Structure 1
Amino acid sequence: MISKKLFSLLLIAFFSTSLFAQKGKRDFYELRIYHIENSSQESQIDAYLEKALLPALHRNGVAKVGVFKPIASQADAGKKVYLFIPYTSMEAYSGMEGKLAKDQVYQTAGSAYINASFENPPYKRIETAFLQAFTGHPRFTESKVTGPKKDRVYELRSYESPTEKLYKQKVKMFNEGEIDIFTKLEFNPIFYAEVISGAYMPNLMYMTTFSNIESREAHWKAFGADEDWNRMKVMPEYQNIMNKNDQRLLHPTDYSDF
């Protein structure tokens, strides 16, 4: 199995040859999903993230970090915790593990998680996707949604395509019009991004935010009726470019930064 350090070095080498590797052009995102089996594991993850990891990320240059959980109506409610970490460069991502290893405040605060025993692990497994922001929305944006966090709905969507070529057409569709429609209709996006490494490639992911479930439904109804969308979706170049639309409805935890 490839180590995180080696994976990071390979990614840096790859992106150093890309026009998009220039610092400040497009964000990189780590989306980590903790799969949990019981409330004890959930409590361990919450304590680690709130008291150890998020403060350490803040100290080491990541100003805002998102933590989300499935809303009550979702089949995986109580079974997953989502962690979203935005980085301004590949170097920032690859250097974070070393910074955390030297951060004694983090090591102490996160000791129970870091040194968890074989008999009492804090999770069943961790699923990770690594992403790069779209050119049409190159930076993470904090949601403007207000109101109680427990009522909010943050929708994470993953669009899969049958081939790399068709996937690139869907990315093009976002960059050349679809993002503008979401902006016009005030979907309050967190990010739009290409998945560089993940379990369901080729795919893209994005997150939009709403004050509650009723607001989400109203926004999508408006999207479906939008003239620009209805013109765009029938264009020949955008036909048959997706074969799966995975929708996950989440809410931010009380300690999430947004």
Structure 2
Amino acid sequence: MKVKNLISLGAIALCFLMSLNLQAQKRDFYELRTYHIESAEQEAMLDDYLANAFIPAVHKHGIAKVGVFKPIASQPNAGKEVYLFVPFKSLDEYVALEGKLAKDQAYQTAGSAYINAAHDKPPYKRIETSLLQAMTGQPKFTESELTNAKKDRVYEMRSYEAATERLYKQKVKMFNEGEMDIFSKLNCSPIFYAETIAGANMPNLVYMTTHENMDIRNEHWKQFGADPDWAGMKDLPEYANTVSRNDTKLLYPAEYSDL
């Protein structure tokens, strides 16, 4: 009888450990929202909403970290776009958030100016949203390891588009099987690597690395190009022609951003 009990307990423990392992490997989902704005007034209204209504509300509803990023001053889209990055543990959590916010009176009150904005004084021109899923090589987002002032940082967000789905999948494979390891080795402090599952410009992947300033960012890319691991994989036939367009955004985190 004792032997049977031990076997049963062992089986339960094994199932529990397997469950934990599966949970650990579960890939995040991300919403990447782009607010297109036309004025400093819209940007101020959006900042107030995100900092004082949206982010506190999603924290309360179980989303611990949210990123808000803006183009650095030298970029042509400076003052024209604001990026919101929201990580979710599941699609159910993503779908449920809007309903939770609709019932959250504190959020409704704090965000009233944004939520109830007049038709002729909107807080943005348009919203563009992409739904992403973390790559298997980094199934969870990570916080940047940078400690310098947020206003001085350069967060580089890249979208690599491919001509076909097959070529896109090969580029994702390239990241999972070595490319993201190079970024980590060079201390680029990546926040996420993700596959786009719904959005514009598909098929494409999106990722974000972080750098203390522009000089260090440029040095990181110089080191990347000379890295022996990159040299060993970049010309492999299986990875030929995997990127048809590279859309690069150079950003910094808003002062109230969690990431």
The TM-score with structure 2 as length reference comes to: 0.90
Deviations 1:213-241 (A, max 9, x none): 11101111000000010110011100111
2:82 partner SS: strand
- Tell which structure's C-alpha radius of gyration is larger: 2
Whether 1:28 aligns to 2:39 is no
CA change 1:24–1:184 in 2 (3 A) is closer
Give unpaired runs (5+ residues) of structure 1.
1-20
Equivalent pair of 1:24/1:89 in contact (CA under 8 Å): no
Q: Distance in 1 between matches of 2:131 and 2:23?
A: 18
**Within 1, Cα distance between the matches of 2:254 and 2:195?**
25
Number of aligned residues: 238
Distance in 2 separating the partners of 1:242 and 1:254: 33
CA RMSD in angstroms, aligned pairs only:
1.2
- Please state how far the C-alpha of 1:169 moved relative to its aligned partner: 0.4
Aligned twin of 1:198: 199
Q: Structure 1 50/224 Cα, relative in aligned 2: closer, same or farther at 3 Å?
A: same
Q: Which residue of 1 aligns with 2:41?
A: 40
Structure 1's consecutive aligned runs of 4 or more residues displaced over 2 angstroms after TM superposition are 21-24
Task: Output the amino acid matched with 2:187.
Answer: E
Aligned counterparts of 1:199 and 1:26: Cα–Cα separation in 2: 21
Cα deviation, 1:24-69, whole Å, max 9, x if unaligned, reads 6000000001000001100110000000000001000000000010
Partner Cα separation in structure 1 for residue 95 and residue 141 of structure 2: 18
The CA distance in 2 between the partners of 1:109 and 1:127, in whole Å, is 23
Identity percentage of aligned residues? 66
Unpaired runs of 5+ residues, structure 2, are 1-21
d(CA) in 2 for partners of 1:143 and 1:92? 24
Q: How does 1:77-226 map to 2 (within 5 A)?
A: 77-226=78-227
1:23·1:89 contact (CA, 8 Å) conserved in 2? no
Give the secondary-structure state (helix, strand or coil) at the position aligned to 2:144: coil
| Distance (Å, rounded) in 1 between the aligned partners of 2:142 and 2:241 | 30
Q: Name 1:15's counterpart in structure 2.
A: none
Q: Distance in 2 between matches of 1:244 and 1:100?
A: 37
